[in-house]
A and B are shown apart, each in its own frame.
Chain A
């Protein structure tokens, strides 16, 4: 349902006015840089929701103190680590308060995380059944498996996590030829012809000069950023960047400044300050200014404002490092990521980074860009010097997935998968909006966070969805702000319409039972109007 106000914003290509209560969350954007409409939602829930969330946390905290008191005075058995009697006179080893939240709130709903699965994480998977006898302190496996649970949590955007024998033919051949272990680093004897083939393919796929692949996606970020920047450089990093980027930035020793999430005014202000004032004490110019952003932010589902960032970086002569972990393969007309999604050229971004874990059903990461950059990383990256290189069977899986995506295997299966993902994303998001849930993020992102807010509902939601045979991932503090806990759905191209409908029906029922439909802008806020129009059409 689009009101007149929303129509106007949509035409200008500006953030949706769903955030009209407090003004647009990410600032006014430059409408002329965008070739298509850019609609993101960050709706605020009604005030009573915030009040109830705090009530829930207050009750939880009071009972937490009560339980800690009982544990300290021996009225209840202590299951956590404690010092021996002889050590009590020394400096305390375990600071009790630091883990207060983990001990008293997280522990009560701990059974919703770390659930072991025992099949391929495709659109459906099998879970090992796990029960607890002492309220989540310990778990035991009953030995049964819960079969065919619909998977709404795995990062399987294009559905390449499959066990079909025909699809994995080449992977099996390579496995028999090379075995599984590489037993060396890239600089010693770990560079196989498979790696060279893969790197050429990745460069061709992205449309850049050269690329380099690494064995682990997290390590790609944390080991390569220290190689690119050092002391005397400035890193401008988004508020909600992933831990790997934060770790890499901290390890490098450069100065780090944070700008508000996707907010171009904040970024421009920081850039201007950096150029006008220079380094903190000496006021010399910064050696390098690098902007760290992600393609799709996995907790919010928002897409980076790439055209504006590129124009800012060209104006102020900074470098851009784009982490496409979730967006490569998932957005763009042919699955080539946010650069294609915005219709820009890959030369605009200085360092293109991505992972193969999400859309390609494998493991590892890559860094792509100009040949000079990649050659530098081959000699100076910690990952190249010390980390074992990628397993050849995994490299072959990426090669076959990428060839499928590019159409080099002679079929249109790759393009079909990208289209199917787009359709599924649109359908899922539209239906959730219509039902009245608060969803964050861009309309085109396959990561769909559904807001739950109250701590009591996190546990109830995850458990009841599992009872209905649907596996979801719920997230709370500290991965999200304390009042905005959410359930995060990852739509996949392998999900059929029936599976999505099953999930949507279950969500509908559960949303009514748990009272999760907080949105004030959806159709179901006024069911009587909707019913009336249906009657008129039937006449």
Chain B
């Protein structure tokens, strides 16, 4: 299906990625039936989706940041005092 979408883009004569993004948005509209909704329903649906997406991104950021910072701290301590920290870990 990657091949067909590529050929589709070539045939649509897409020059900028903006058209491609618009086409992706149209696909999203068709798949989730938001193409058929009235304007206020669309507003409700999109705001719900954006809120969910924002929450997901924030949770990912916090989770990843926490893990990354703790991993970084462990690495620093390992490099600074190899024997002490190794013994500390073993104990």
Contacts and interface: CB of A to CB of B under 8 A. Distances in A.
A474 to B, nearest CB: 13
A454 interface: yes
Given A525-B3, A527-B3, A63 B37 contact: yes
A456 B7 contact: no
Contacts of B45: 59, 63
Contact of B27 (A59, A515, A518): A515
A518 B33 CA distance: 19
A60 B45 CA distance: 11
B5 to A, nearest CB: 7
A456 B38 CA distance: 13
Contacts of B11: 512
Interface string A191-234: 00000000000000000000000000000000000000000000
B8 A456 contact: no
A456 B32 contact: yes
B33 A460 contact: no
A456 B35 contact: yes
A59 B1 contact: no
A512 B31 contact: no
A455 B3 contact: no
A55 interface: yes
Given A512-B12, A525-B3, A525-B4, A459 B36 contact: yes
Interface string A493-532: 0000000000000000000111101100000111110000
Interface size class, chain A: 20 to 34
A466 to B, nearest CB: 16
Q: Is the interface of A mostly helix, strand, loop or mixed?
A: helix
- What size tier do the contact residues of chain B reach? 20 to 34
Contacts of A526: 3
Interface in B29-45: 29-38, 41, 45
B58 interface: no
B37 A454 contact: no
Interface string B40-76: 0100010000000000000000000000000000000
A343 interface: no
A55 B7 contact: no
Contacts of B38: 135
A378 interface: no
Contacts of A65: none
Given A512-B11, A512-B12, A455 B5 contact: no
Contacts of B25: none
Given A517-B4, A527-B3, A63 B27 contact: no
A525 B4 CA distance: 6
A456 B12 contact: no
Contacts of A369: none
Given A59-B45, A436-B4, A527-B3, A514 B30 contact: yes
A135 B40 CA distance: 13
A52 interface: yes
A513 B26 contact: yes
B47 to A, nearest CB: 14
Nearest to A48: B1
A515 B37 CA distance: 20
B23 interface: yes
15 contacts: A56-B31, A56-B33, A59-B32, A59-B45, A60-B33, A63-B37, A135-B38, A454-B30, A456-B34, A460-B30, A460-B35, A512-B8, A513-B8, A525-B3, A527-B6
Given A56-B32, A457-B30, 6 more contacts: A55-B31, A56-B31, A108-B36, A515-B8, A525-B3, A525-B4
